[in-house]
């Protein structure tokens, strides 16, 4: 009886094992069938689109392993977050200047006549679930986006990554930065609050300052006399359709050129203009950049949750007969505000027209000259140096002291203008005269960049001298030894061949000699001598 029970149990176990094996075979067959269907679908798609070839090249793409190359990705992820939050906000925002009586949740403004744009922004902030969080996330992402573009372009400038064959990418990045400035201003102006309205009134002053055609520009933008009924709808279309489309196209073109021309990289053993040393797209770089994306999204969400930005309910709706006190634009427009405040209010009568030099010079001519110089710089430097070869290795900023000094001088001037954009608040906080502060900043605008230029060039040469000392004597160990004669000497560790190779890879170039006695060549040689005469051999 017991043997029969054991045999029955054995047969049941065998049956269960057979059933499990049959299920496993069926599951494996299903997986193989799914794999065959996926392969057939991929082949079908690849026959009509370069799907597999493009994916194969993308997965093999090598990215340099240095933190400074992540600045562009920081801008990219901020831009992606801007697009996502912007789409959400369009569901609730009403771009209209028709006046309505506010009856929402914010009691202090209830019963006040406001525009639909302002009322819908209050509704987003107080009545839409998560609306204030998304709105502040959108604003913080815009601030980080512009800061990341600026930092990325400074990295490109100081390392010479704008040189051939990447001049077009420099132009694209610079154009993208300008579009981002205008896009930020347009979005900042949409709520039609007292602060943004003051900024729009200032922008109209810029248009009116243009000689001969200023009034036509103002009528074209606003549709009538100030403030009109058309500016908010036009800004809305520009902000959600025109500029994002242009920016998306430029970002795409920029990324295509980056993939086609490959990344620049810091010089070192095994690195040349023909290769890129780093990590492949999959899986190393994908994990790193994915982590950066989640960090950007998380930190911006945290800022949106705990750091208030642009509380329009405190400013109130815009009225043409009022102006917001202590009005400050977002930081990326601060340099224009500072230039306006430092420029004396002068005007000239000519040919029956009045030319108002403020705001014509600081708000119209100054940005025009600035961005024209930035557009032209790669080609001017190429002409001065006579170097038309391709460059895929980054310059060490210390080995290009004049270029580095020019960049630092420009940043110093920007810092002075940014401070001047808040001179009334600075004067109030430090209990000083606004007039005295204005004159101090006017002098600093010319003196500080001059001092910063020479100090930076001196520091670059000092760092070059330090590198030469390290090559000849090695790295100090910190230990001091006394010789038999009684002299004290510091011991040094010699550099490794890899360190020596890196230090000598990028020598400072020599000035050009004039190719012929023509005036053009003499000017070119003089500029080249000024640009490269200070160097440590």
> Which residues of 4-70 form beta strands (DSSP E)?
62-64
The verdict on pTM exceeding 0.85 is yes
The answer to whether the beta carbons of residues 334 and 418 sit under 8 Å apart is yes
Q: Enumerate the domain spans of the chain.
A: 1-49, 64-330
Q: For 368-391, write each residue's pLDDT tens digit.
A: 999 999 999 999 999 988 888 888
- pLDDT recorded at residue 34: 77
Task: Determine contact, residues 231/222, Cβ cutoff 8 Å.
Answer: yes
Please state the three-class secondary structure of 340-362 as a single string. Answer: HHHCCCCEEEECCEEEEHHHHHH
Tell me the average pLDDT across 295-313: 95
- Kindly report, residue by residue over 174-229, the tens digit of the pLDDT: 999 999 999 999 999 999 999 898 889 889 989 999 988 888 999 888 888 888 88
C-alpha 324/C-alpha 205 separation (Å) is 16
Averaged pLDDT for residues 521-531: 87
**CATH no. for 64-330:** 1.20.810.10
458-to-407, 463, 465, 528 alpha-carbon distances in Å: 14, 9, 11, 18
pLDDT at 514 over 60: yes
Q: What percent of the chain has pLDDT over 90?
A: 49
What are 361's two structure tokens? Answer: 């010079």
What b/e sequence results for 279-315 when a residue is b if at least 16 CB atoms lie within 10 Å of its CB, and e otherwise? beeeeebeeebeeebeebbeebbebbeeeeebebbeb
């Amino acid at each position: 009886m017991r043997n029969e029970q054991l045999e029955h149990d054995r047969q049941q176990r065998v049956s269960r094992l057979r059933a499990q094996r049959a299920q496993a075979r069926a599951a494996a067959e299903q997986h193989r069938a799914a794999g065959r269907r996926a392969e057939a679908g991929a082949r079908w798609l690849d026959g009509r689109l370069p799907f597999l070839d493009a994916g194969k090249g993308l997965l093999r793409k090598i990215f340099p392993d240095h933190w400074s190359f992540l600045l562009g990705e920081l801008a990219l992820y901020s831009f992606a977050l801007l697009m996502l939050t912007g789409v959400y906000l369009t569901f609730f925002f009403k771009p209209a200047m028709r006046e309505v009586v506010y009856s929402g949740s914010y009691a202090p403004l209830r019963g006040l006549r406001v525009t639909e744009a302002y009322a819908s922004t209050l509704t987003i902030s107080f009545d839409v679930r998560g609306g204030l969080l998304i709105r502040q996330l959108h604003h913080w992402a815009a601030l980080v986006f512009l800061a990341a573009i600026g930092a990325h372009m400074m990295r490109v400038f100081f390392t010479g990554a704008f040189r051939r064959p990447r001049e077009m990418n420099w132009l694209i990045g610079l154009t993208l930065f300008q579009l981002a400035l205008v896009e930020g201003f347009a979005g900042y102006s949409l709520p039609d609050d007292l602060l943004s309205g003051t900024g729009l009134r200032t922008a109209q002053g810029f248009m009116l300052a243009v000689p001969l055609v200023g009034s036509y520009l103002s009528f074209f933008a606003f549709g009538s006399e100030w403030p009109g009924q058309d500016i908010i709808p036009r800004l809305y279309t520009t902000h959600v359709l025109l500029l994002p489309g242009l920016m998306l196209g430029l970002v795409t073109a920029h990324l295509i050129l980056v993939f086609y021309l490959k990344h620049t990289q810091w010089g070192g053993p095994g690195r040349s203009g023909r290769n890129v040393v780093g990590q492949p797209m999959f899986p190393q770089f994908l994990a790193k950049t994915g982590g950066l994306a989640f960090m950007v999204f998380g930190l911006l969400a945290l800022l949106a949750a705990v750091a208030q930005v642009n509380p329009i309910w405190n400013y109130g709706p815009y009225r043409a007969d009022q102006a917001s006190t202590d009005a400050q634009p977002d930081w990326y427009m601060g340099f224009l505000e500072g230039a306006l405040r430092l420029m004396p209010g002068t005007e000239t009568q000519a040919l029956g027209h009045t030319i108002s030099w403020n705001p014509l010079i600081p708000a119209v001519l100054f940005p025009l000259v600035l961005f024209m110089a930035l557009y032209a710089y790669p080609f001017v430097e190429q002409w001065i140096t006579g170097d038309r070869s391709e460059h895929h290795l980054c310059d060490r900023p210390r080995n290009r002291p004049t270029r580095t000094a020019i960049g630092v001088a420009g940043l110093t001037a920007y810092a002075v203008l940014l401070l001047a954009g808040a001179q009334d608040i600075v004067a109030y906080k430090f209990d000083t005269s606004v007039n005295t502060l204005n004159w101090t900043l006017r002098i600093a605008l010319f003196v500080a960049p001059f001092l910063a230029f020479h100090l930076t060039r001196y520091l670059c040469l000092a760092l070059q001298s330090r590198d030469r000392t390290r090559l000849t004597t090695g790295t100090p160990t910190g230990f001091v030894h006394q010789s038999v004669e009684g002299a004290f000497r510091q011991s040094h560790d010699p550099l490794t061949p890899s360190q020596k190779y890196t230090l000598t890879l990028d020598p400072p170039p020599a000035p050009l000699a004039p190719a012929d006695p023509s005036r053009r060549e003499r000017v070119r040689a003089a500029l080249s001598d000024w640009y490269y005469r200070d160097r440590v051999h």
